[in-house]
Amino acid sequence: MGVAKILSKLKSRQLDTLLLAIFYIVAGVAYAYVLALSLFTFAFMPAGAFAALSFIAAYGLFVKKKWAVWIVVMLFFPAATLSVGTLYSSVRLSTFAPSVEALLFHLALLFYVFFSFVSFVYVTAKRKTFQ
C-alpha cells in the first residue's frame, strides 16, 4: 500500500475513531511487551490474547467494521478486571508511589482503565456508524 493511499485513508477517517485505533495499538504493544518480558511463560498468555485482540480491534475501528464493536466489548471486561485487580494488588502491597517506577506503572494502569472505559462507552454508543 502506497504512502499516498494511507494518507488519503487517514484524511477520510474521523479523528475520534483514529484516536481509538491508536489507543488499541498502544495497548496491544504494551501487552506484547509484557508477554515478551515474561519470556512467553504460560501464566502470561492472557497478555498475548489481549495483545492480539487489541490489534484486531484497532484494525476494525480503523476500517469501521461492524465486528469491531463486539471485539471492543469482549476486550473491555476481562482487560479492565485484570488491570483493576493488578492496580489494587500493587497498591495494597506497597503505597501508590513508593518509587517513580511504581508511580508510572500505577498511572499507566489508571490511564488504561480510563481510556478502555471511554472507548467501550463511545463504541457502544456509536455502534450504528460501524456498518
- Residue 96 is assigned to a structural domain of this protein: yes
Report pLDDT for 64. Answer: 85
- Residue 79 is assigned to a structural domain of this protein: yes
Q: Are 103 and 97 in contact (CB under 8 A)?
A: yes
- Residue 129 is assigned to a structural domain of this protein: no
- Give the domain range for residue 53: 13-121
Give 10-residue mean pLDDT values along the chain (131 residues): 61 77 93 86 82 93 88 91 89 84 88 92 82 63
Report pLDDT for 84. Answer: 92
- Residue 8 is assigned to a structural domain of this protein: no
- Residue 126 is assigned to a structural domain of this protein: no
> Number of folded domains in the chain?
1
- Residue 64 is assigned to a structural domain of this protein: yes
Task: Report the b/e string of 56-95 with b at 16+ CB within 10 A.
Answer: bbbebbbeebeebbebbeebbeebbebbeeebeebeeeee
Report pLDDT for 99. Answer: 85
Report pLDDT for 29. Answer: 94
- Residue 20 is assigned to a structural domain of this protein: yes
C-alpha pair distances (Å), 42 with each of 36, 46, 48? 12, 9, 10
> pTM (2 decimals)?
0.80
